[in-house]
Amino acid sequence: MSVIFAKTPRGAEEMTQRSGALPPRVRRVLIFVDGKRDVAELRAMTGADDLSHTLGRLEEEGYIALAAVRDAAGNAQATAPGQRLPSITAFRALDESVAADPQDLVKARNFMSNTINVLVGALGTSSLLERIEQARTHAELRALFDEWYHAIVASRDGRREAEALRTKLLDVI
């Protein structure tokens, strides 16, 4: 799944008036945001190593907003303000006949708890943290994955790191 951003009215105004005093590198990324290109396409076009940070800044400052989410088949689904993002899971296959590695379960549980505590904080997430700690199988943790991810992207710092964190967790869950 990939995310597509579009310029907000403030972003469109910045293109014509240059009133926001954006650094050239950030402005260059804003120029390429068009509501059609996903983050991977923007990364290829701009060559920006810190694209997630730049997009986070543009979003925080109101120049861009989430416009759509593209699934693995390439179909884009528009998002409405406040709309919850669709499931972003891509779990590895778990063979039922072979017990899942208990170390992976511990790693996944600790990773989920630690990222919430550091990026979101326990306030308002205590119920989720309890359910993560009580999970005894990969299936139980996987059932909490979307809620964990949405908690992470709801925080400013988490939004910047969400994709990298998601990838790391999917390696062990």
Q: What is the DSSP annotation of 48-105? A: -TTHHHHHHHHHHTTSEEEEEEE-TTS-EEE--TTPPPPP---PPP--TTSPPPHHHH
Q: What is the DSSP letter of 123?
A: T
pLDDT value, residue 149: 84
pLDDT (tens, 9 = 90+) of the chain, 173 residues, equals 578 899 999 999 999 988 767 898 899 999 999 999 888 888 888 876 677 778 888 888 889 988 887 766 667 667 666 554 444 445 666 655 445 678 888 999 999 999 999 998 888 889 999 999 999 988 898 889 888 988 888 887 887 787 778 878 887 87
Whether the CB-CB separation of 39 and 55 falls below 8 Å is answered with yes
Quick one: 17 exposed, middle or buried, by C-beta within 10 A (0-12, 13-18, 19+)?
exposed
Query: What is d(CA 172, CA 141) in angstroms, rounded to the nearest whole number?
Result: 11
Q: Where does 2-78 sit in CATH, by number?
A: 1.10.10
The domain spans of the chain are: 2-78, 102-172
